[in-house]
Structure 1
Amino acid sequence: MKKYNHTTYTILGILTTDCRSGYAIKQFIDRSLRHFWKISYGQIYPTLRLIADEGLATVQTTSQDGKPDRNEYFLTPKGKSVLTDWLEKPIEEIPVERNEVLLKLFFGRHQSKKHTLQILQNYQQKLEERYLLYSSIEKGISTNSSEQQDAQYWLFTLDYGKRITRASIDWCKSTINQIS
C-alpha cells in the first residue's frame, strides 16, 4: 500500500469527524491539533486534492449565493482503510522536540545569569498560560463534547499535554532555583 505523509493521514483522520471543508479542517486544527501537530493552511488544499485524486475521499461541490462553490470531502472505504493501516503501524521514531529555551540554556554560560533567568521565567509564565488554556479546553470537551465518540481520545491527548506542561513548569522552577 502506498505510503503518505503525516499531513495526509492527519486530514484523513479529521475527515472522520464532522469537518468536511478545507475551512472547517483548518478551524479544527487551530482548536485542537495545533497544540501538538502543526499544519499550515497552504498544506490543506493540496492534500485534499491529493486525497480526492487518490480515491481516498469523494468531493461534493455545493453552490453558495455570492460566494465561491464549497467543496466537501467524504472519506471513502479506501481512505478509511489507509487511515486504519497507518494507525495500526508501529511508531517509527520517538519525536524529537525542538525547544529554543533548551538550546539557549545549553549555551547559557555565554550569556548573563540575569538573562538566563529572564528566559526561564518568561518560559515558565508561557507554560502556565498554556496549562490554563489546556484546562479550559478540557472543561469545554467534558461539558460540550462528552457524548462524541472521539471525546475520550481527545481528552487522552489533552492529558498528555497537561502533564508535559506541568512537568516543564516544575523543571523551570527547579532550574531557576539552581541558577539563583
Structure 2
Amino acid sequence: MSSYNHTTYAILGILTTSCRSGYAIKQFIDRSLNHFWKISYGQIYPTLKLITEEGLAVIQTSSQQGKPDRHEYELTDKGKTVLREWLEQPIEQLSVERNEVLLKLFFGSHQSKQQTVYILQDYKQKLAQRYETYVSIENSILEHATDEEKDAEYWLLTLDYGKRTTVAAIEWCEHALQQFEFKERS
C-alpha cells in the first residue's frame, strides 16, 4: 500500500460524503474537521490533483453558463480501498496539542499574575463558546440525520470527544484560577 499524508486520507474520506468539488470540500472542513484537523484551502487542490493522478478519484467536469466549468471528484474503487486500508491501520502516534495558553502559562513567571489570570479567564470563555458551537453542531446533525445516514453516528461520536475534552479544559481552567486565588489569599 502506498503511503499518503493525513490530508490525502482526510480528503478521500470527505469524498465519501456528498461533497464533490473543492469548494464543497473546504466548506465541509470549515464546518466539521476544522475543529480537530486543520487543512488549509491551499492544500485541497494539490491533494485533489494528487489523488486523481494516483487513480484514487476521477474528475467529472460540467459546464455552467457564465461560470467556469465545475470539477467534481468521485472516488474510484482504488480510492475506496486505499481509504479503507488506512482506516484499518493502527494509529501511528498520539497527537501532540499545540496550545498557546499552555505555552504562555509555562513561561508565566515572566508576566504579572493578573495577566495570567486574565489569559486563563479569556481561555475559559473561549472554551465555553466552543462548547456551545459543538452543541449547535450536534443539534444540527440530530435534526438533519436520517436513519440511512451512516456517517451521523460517527460524526456524533467525534463531536462527543470534542465536547468532553472542552469540558475537561474548562474544569482545568477553573482549577488553575482557584490556584491563583488561593495563592493571593495566602
Tell me the TM-score normalized by structure 2: 0.95
Unaligned runs of 5+ in 1: none
Structure-1 residue corresponding to 2:161? 160
Unaligned runs of 5+ in 2: 182-186
Task: State whether structure 2 residue 123 is matched by structure 1 residue 123.
Answer: yes
Structure-1 residue corresponding to 2:89? 89
Q: Within 1, Cα distance between the matches of 2:134 and 2:19? A: 22
Report how far residue 108 of structure 1 moved: 1.1
Equivalent AA in structure 2 for residue 27 of structure 1 = Q
Report how far residue 146 of structure 1 moved: 4.2
Q: How many residues align?
A: 180
Report how far residue 110 of structure 1 moved: 1.3
Q: Within 1, Cα distance between the matches of 2:136 and 2:77? A: 36
CA shift in 2, pair 1:146/1:168, >3 Å? farther
Of all paired residues, the percent bearing the same amino acid is 68
Structure-2 residue corresponding to 1:3? 3
Task: State whether structure 2 residue 150 is matched by structure 1 residue 149.
Answer: yes
Equivalent AA in structure 2 for residue 102 of structure 1 = L
Structure-2 residue corresponding to 1:17? 17
Q: Within 2, Cα distance between the matches of 1:90 and 1:66? A: 48
Aligned pairs for 1:1-180 (under 5 A) are 1-147=1-147, 148-180=149-181
Q: Within 1, Cα distance between the matches of 2:123 and 2:146? A: 32
Q: Within 2, Cα distance between the matches of 1:164 and 1:143? A: 24
Equivalent AA in structure 2 for residue 169 of structure 1 = I
Equivalent AA in structure 2 for residue 13 of structure 1 = G
Report how far residue 109 of structure 1 moved: 1.2
Structure-1 residue corresponding to 2:184? none
> Is the deviation greater in 44-53 or in 139-148?
139-148
Report how far residue 134 of structure 1 moved: 0.4
CA contact (8 A) 1:29 1:39 kept: yes
Poorly superposed stretches of 4+, deviation over 6 Å: none
> Secondary structure at 2:150's aligned position in 1?
coil
